[in-house]
Amino acid sequence: MNAKTAIAGGAVVVVAVVLLIVLSSGGSDSRSKTDAGKVPTIVVDKQGQPVGGIADLNYHKGDQIHFKVEVPFAEEVHLHGYDVMKDVPAGGGTVTYDLPAEIEGVFEAELEGRKEQIIQLTVEP
């Protein structure tokens, strides 16, 4: 290995180390966990759209997934991945999800009949 290669190699290693330090220094998790104690409620409007857009719900594995969905018409709410379906009766109503966060990943809850996503649920390790 000649001097130029050694210098170039040294520079590469320095860049790598700096990159490592900079990117690793942000802490272990910046996600805002779903507020403890408050049960988030996702309200669906008459057009079948979630009010305020698709709701982001974030949990860690081992947490309790707990949320409600309020729908003004008969529908089936489906939490994919966990594969939990709940029926909203004719005339509308509220369904409640309360289950342990056992599977890691990103999941959708949607209005099954309309194929409309209303929630993006994230479970981190």
Residues engaged in binding another protein (CB under 8 A): 1, 5-6, 8-9, 12-13, 15-17, 19-20, 22-24, 26-31, 56, 80-81, 83, 102-108, 110, 115-117, 120, 122, 124-125
Q: Minimum distance from CB of 91 to another protein (Å)?
A: 26
Q: Minimum distance from CB of 85 to another protein (Å)?
A: 12
Smaller CB separation from another protein, 43 or 54: 54
Smaller CB separation from another protein, 9 or 89: 9
Smaller CB separation from another protein, 7 or 51: 7
The residue among 108, 79, 75, 107 whose CA lies nearest residue 94 is 75
In DSSP terms, which residues pair with 84 in a beta bridge? 79
State how beta strands 105-111 and 64-71 pair: unpaired
- 28 HSE (CA, 13 A, CB side): 3
Smaller CB separation from another protein, 10 or 89: 10
Output the six-digit token pair for 37: 């104690």
Q: Which residues contact 23 (CB under 8 A, 6 or more apart)?
A: none
